[in-house]
Structure 1
């Protein structure tokens, strides 16, 4: 795309990458811009464009356009037609909140996050000053988007208030821990069905490691009966059984032969609960030891 004054191209603009940076109480997306300055003709009137600002939106997977934020170039941008043209590059900084990052996760498509950046400026000649506009789209694929989330420190926020077990892990639970760490990576990458499937495997491994099949079956059979008589452990085992039941569809297809679809909310719920159960299970095993 290009920034034009009337029929004259002043600068061609392109986005070559997106990264993230976390500051003190602020997170920012950094859009890397390249500008190619058009070569002017000898003797033509001076033309320039300045006061360039940016409006950034996201293109949801369902279509349309959703406004995200205004961006600010780290160096003020001004362009004029030069006899031999030229090149310049600059970073566009877009400050975003945690809530906006969560919204981006909900809006993005399976191929990544697609942004639209609208550049607005003022074009000047000896005769007049007019507004100029340029629009660009750029898609951040899932692999690169996972890197951006890591740069923003956002990956650590997916399971709010629940920590993975740290320190010495009982041998019988080590496989479950590994599977849940895999699930966390899948969540960052946006592979929500794989999150649920990995959590199901982790819960299967956890149940095997605990060797409490009889108690789980007992908790299941008594779920609708003597609820008041159940201990805290029995209730926790009932939760384990219920979450395993919820994730069962991750390994099957529906009546039309399609795999079950899970949203980010579904995956986050399952991963959060599975992490909490695993953390509790480490305490149960240590008490037994």
Structure 2
């Protein structure tokens, strides 16, 4: 049951607290989990008596990473039940940072289980006295947890410490970033193969192509050899080299489109997210390059062409 009882003085079960829902929201440098409770007056001892609640919350089901998350504080104080059988709602919140959520994501196998230990005080005859509350277990299933991560805008930063790139760089880049965001959503849902498939689409969209336009290992090899040969005669900057990284990553992510290959696992999807996110962060379109040999051939062909008269 998602409920705990408030004991005031010698009166047991003076009020009932029921955990109704869990949601998330983002703040300035922090994210919050919000636990919404409904309080109901079950005895005169809790009527017309302002109460303040607090406590701590822990996460479980994460293996050795299970444990304390942070302090619970009431969002609006005090909680007052004005008459017998009256009800009211209040919210307990806990601040989380990006690293805590990342640890949860690395270790959860489905949803997330929370244990809330709630304590409180109540006003009596002008002074505060401790009241007994208790603990409650609450499990958020996987689909609801994915929605909470969206509410907290988790991974609005591309991975760790990477600011989201400017979507206005180009139409191709905007399309690629949309695919990348889809990859992040699939990762949160534990859809490892679909994560890699979305990254495959990301890498192709960067250069205005479809994912199936480049899926040959020979193309990757040929492009690398060509660039290597050019680098012996001229300076090759970061954008052309990044294009080789894009081609190699695209070849890696092509595995996500082939169901006959051994199943894509979490670590495959995670490493692909890291690498593609880093590439997006510094991506610059590669201008068409004409090698010295091709340029000479073009000049020679122009000189050899017969003149035309009007």
Q: 1:200 to 1:134 in 2, by over 3 A?
A: same
Using the alignment, how far apart are the partners of 1:215 and 1:267 within structure 2?
Answer: 20
Question: How is 1:5-84 mapped onto 2 (pairs within 5 angstroms)?
Answer: 5=7, 8-39=12-43, 52-62=53-63, 65-76=66-77, 84=84
Q: CA deviation at 1:29?
A: 2.3
Partner residue in 2 for 1:246: 252
Partner residue in 2 for 1:196: 196
Q: 1:120 to 1:10 in 2, by over 3 A?
A: same
- Contact 1:252–1:259 (Cα < 8 Å) also in 2: no
- More displaced stretch, 20-29 vs 112-121: 20-29
Q: CA deviation at 1:70?
A: 0.6
Partner residue in 1 for 2:168: 166
Using the alignment, how far apart are the partners of 2:157 and 2:185 within structure 1?
Answer: 12
Match of 1:156, SS state, is coil
Question: How is 1:34-183 mapped onto 2 (pairs within 5 angstroms)?
Answer: 34-39=38-43, 52-62=53-63, 65-76=66-77, 84-110=84-110, 112-121=111-120, 132-159=132-159, 160-161=162-163, 163=165, 165-166=167-168, 168-169=170-171, 176=176, 178-183=178-183
Higher relative contact order (CA 8 A, sep 6+): 1
- More displaced stretch, 48-57 vs 234-243: 48-57
Superposition TM-score, scaled by structure 2 size: 0.66
Q: 1:191 to 1:13 in 2, by over 3 A?
A: farther
Q: Give structure 2 stretches of 5+ with no counterpart.
A: 291-310
- Contact 1:176–1:203 (Cα < 8 Å) also in 2: yes
What is the alpha-carbon root mean square deviation over aligned residues? Answer: 4.5
The total of aligned residue pairs comes to 273
Using the alignment, how far apart are the partners of 1:162 and 1:286 within structure 2?
Answer: 27
Using the alignment, how far apart are the partners of 1:124 and 1:203 within structure 2?
Answer: 61
Partner residue in 2 for 1:272: 277
Which of structures 1 and 2 has the bigger CA Rg? 2
Q: CA deviation at 1:35?
A: 1.8
Match of 1:75, SS state, is coil
Match of 1:231, SS state, is coil
Question: Residues 16-38 of structure 1: CA distance to partner in whole angstroms, max 9, x if unpaired?
Answer: 22233334444322211112222
Q: 1:270 to 1:130 in 2, by over 3 A?
A: same
Partner residue in 1 for 2:297: none
Q: CA deviation at 1:272?
A: 0.4
Q: 1:204 to 1:32 in 2, by over 3 A?
A: same
Q: 1:11 to 1:97 in 2, by over 3 A?
A: same
